[in-house]
Amino acid sequence: QAGLARCQREAEEVTELMKQNFVRVLERDGRLSDLDSRAQELRAMVGTYGHLWGRIAPGTHAHTEPW
């Protein structure tokens, strides 16, 4: 009986861990979907404004200006 009870307890622990892992997978999926959407938006912006980058002379980016 003790062995059976131990096996049952371990099975319940494993089941709980699997449930927690599944929840984590769903959360990650949601975050990955958000990141994918943001990446698509950025790609669209680059497609829309990308032609402007070719007109900017090297060294004139805002981060290189002295002010």
Does any domain span residue 59? Answer: no
- The domain of 40 spans 2-54
Does any domain span residue 13? Answer: yes
Does any domain span residue 63? Answer: no
Query: What's the whole-model pTM score?
Result: 0.56
Q: How far is CA 47 from CA 16, 53, 58, in A?
A: 46, 11, 20
Does any domain span residue 67? Answer: no
User: At 21, is the pLDDT very low, low, confident or very high (cuts 50, 70, 90)?
Assistant: very high
Q: How far is CA 32 from CA 19, 21, 38, 41, 43, in A?
A: 20, 16, 10, 14, 16
SS3 27: helix
Rg (CA), the chain: 26
26-60 tens-digit pLDDT: 999 999 999 999 999 988 888 777 666 666 655 65
Domain count, the chain: 1
